[in-house]
């Protein structure tokens, strides 16, 4: 093979790797700003780890570092483990690093999981399994949980119940995760009789909702140990669903309940949740059966053509990083790329010169060291 053919084959790959290293360097700078105690050695360790960690999931090193940036800003101590969980979510849910990291942080905070990767994985395994069974967009589900998760948790609704409720309404109405989350918050606040000015939940509205439930012989309160207390919201909604689905479409009690929730959107979502309660219960079972689904989905994505291409790109970037090494090389990527690109033009004019051929051959000799991997 001629020197010119060698240049045409390998220089684009070198240029791509240098470009990747420049982007990697930008992420490292942002990670450093988020964690002021990081040394140069720490940052180099993160960079080196990014190539392998990302390749294990069939993602680009920049996807891993983007997750690390978001996680560093959130203050997690086990940032490497959380970043890998983010990669798994990115793969399974086809979501961005920012969305995955926000989903993790919102779930962790809402359900007080203290950054436990094991507990977080249980939640996302269940969510991913439900989403895959019902063709629900995981990014939209993540958006829904980010908005409604905290309210749901504070009102005694588990992550499994919140996931199933959001998914049921999303599947039935085809609305966005944000729209469904807003409706779910209204439903839960009404059921738990909590006023919220920002959500438009007033005492008058709460009284109207309770009266509509009472008309269906469903009580929001019960006496426990001599004390009148509010009941579990999902238990109440289950009883409402049973009573609601026995009513005819023209029954005034059905319309009164929907109108009492406040607003057409919330009414449509309440109708979807109660009307599809069997789906909700099925989703709860699917959630519990979801163990390992995140890893399985990630493995499929990692073994795809895109995953293989990402691993190759990571190998190249890692190789170039190992032989270039210094910060100066990374920071002058643009100049190096221009220089490498110009060699092709030089070779076209001077390929026959033995001295240049020897020099270029020496320059390209690195291709026999790990390039074919």
The DSSP string of 275-315 is HTHHHHHHHHHHHHT-TTHHHHHHHHHHTSHHHHHHHHHHH
Residues 272 and 309 both lie in one domain: no
Q: Which of 291, 310, 330 is the last residue of a domain?
A: 291
Q: What is the mean pLDDT, run by run of 10 residues, along the chain of 373 residues?
A: 48 58 85 79 88 89 91 86 93 89 95 96 96 95 96 96 98 95 96 91 95 96 87 96 93 94 92 97 97 87 81 80 57 51 50 46 47 40
The pLDDT, as a whole number, for residue 4 is 47
The pLDDT, as a whole number, for residue 371 is 40
The pLDDT, as a whole number, for residue 40 is 85
Residues 261 and 160 both lie in one domain: yes
The pLDDT, as a whole number, for residue 128 is 95
Domain count, the chain: 2
Residues 273 and 312 both lie in one domain: no
The pLDDT, as a whole number, for residue 17 is 57
Domain limits for position 240: 137-291
Q: What is the dihedral of CA 270, 274, 275, 281, to 10 degrees?
A: 130
Q: Which of 256, 291, 326 is the last residue of a domain?
A: 291
Helix, strand, coil proportions of the chain in percent (round to 5)?
75, 5, 20
Q: Which residues contact 180 (CB under 8 A, 6 or more apart)?
A: 144, 166, 169, 170, 173, 269
Which among 64, 69, 271 has a CA at the least distance from the CA of 187? 271
User: Domain for residue 116, yes or no?
Assistant: no
This prediction has a pTM of: 0.81
Residues 169 and 247 both lie in one domain: yes
The pLDDT, as a whole number, for residue 356 is 43
Q: What is the dihedral of CA 236, 238, 241, 242, to 10 degrees?
A: -110
Q: Which of 261, 291, 321 is the last residue of a domain?
A: 291
Write phi, then psi, for 372 (nearest 5 degrees): -80, 0
User: Domain for residue 132, yes or no?
Assistant: no
Place of tokens 């019960």: 222
Residues 2 and 81 both lie in one domain: yes
Distance CA 220, CA 228 (A): 10
Residues 240 and 373 both lie in one domain: no
304-309 LR contacts (CB < 8 Å, sep 24+)? 304/58, 306/58, 307/57, 307/58, 307/59, 308/58
């Amino acid at each position: 093979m001629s020197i010119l053919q060698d240049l045409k084959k390998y220089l684009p790959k070198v240029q791509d790797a240098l470009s990747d290293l420049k982007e990697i360097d930008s992420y490292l700078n942002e990670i450093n700003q988020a964690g002021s105690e990081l040394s140069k050695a720490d940052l180099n360790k993160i960079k080196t780890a990014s190539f392998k960690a990302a390749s294990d999931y069939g993602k680009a090193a920049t996807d891993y570092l983007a997750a690390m940036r978001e996680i560093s800003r959130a203050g997690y101590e086990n940032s490497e483990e959380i970043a890998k969980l983010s990669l798994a979510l990115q793969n399974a849910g086809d979501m961005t690093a920012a969305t995955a990291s926000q989903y993790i942080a919102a779930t962790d905070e809402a359900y007080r999981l203290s950054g436990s990767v094991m507990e977080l994985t249980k939640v996302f395994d269940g969510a991913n399994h439900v989403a895959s069974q019902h063709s629900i967009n995981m990014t939209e589900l993540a958006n829904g949980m980010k908005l409604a998760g905290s309210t749901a948790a504070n009102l005694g609704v588990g992550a499994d119940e919140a996931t199933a409720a959001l998914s049921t309404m999303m599947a039935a109405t085809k609305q966005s995760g944000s729209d469904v989350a807003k409706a779910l918050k209204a439903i839960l606040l009404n059921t738990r009789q909590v006023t919220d000015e920002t959500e438009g939940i007033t005492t008058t509205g709460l009284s109207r909702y309770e009266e509509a439930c009472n008309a269906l012989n469903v009580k929001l309160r019960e006496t426990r140990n001599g004390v009148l207390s509010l009941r579990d919201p999902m238990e109440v909604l289950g009883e409402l669903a049973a009573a609601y689905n026995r009513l005819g479409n023209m029954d005034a009690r059905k319309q009164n309940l929907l109108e009492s929730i406040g607003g057409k959107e919330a009414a449509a979502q309440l109708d979807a949740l109660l009307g599809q309660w069997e789906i909700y219960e099925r989703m709860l079972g699917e959630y519990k059966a979801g163990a390992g689904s995140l890893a399985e989905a990630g493995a499929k994505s990692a073994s795809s053509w895109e995953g293989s291409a990402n691993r190759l790109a990571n190998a190249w970037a890692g190789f170039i990083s190992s032989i270039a090494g210094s910060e100066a090389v990374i920071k002058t990527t643009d100049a190096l790329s221009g220089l490498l690109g110009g060699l092709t033009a030089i070779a076209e004019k001077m390929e026959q010169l033995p001295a240049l051929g020897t020099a270029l051959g020496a320059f390209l000799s690195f291709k026999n060291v790990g390039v074919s991997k």
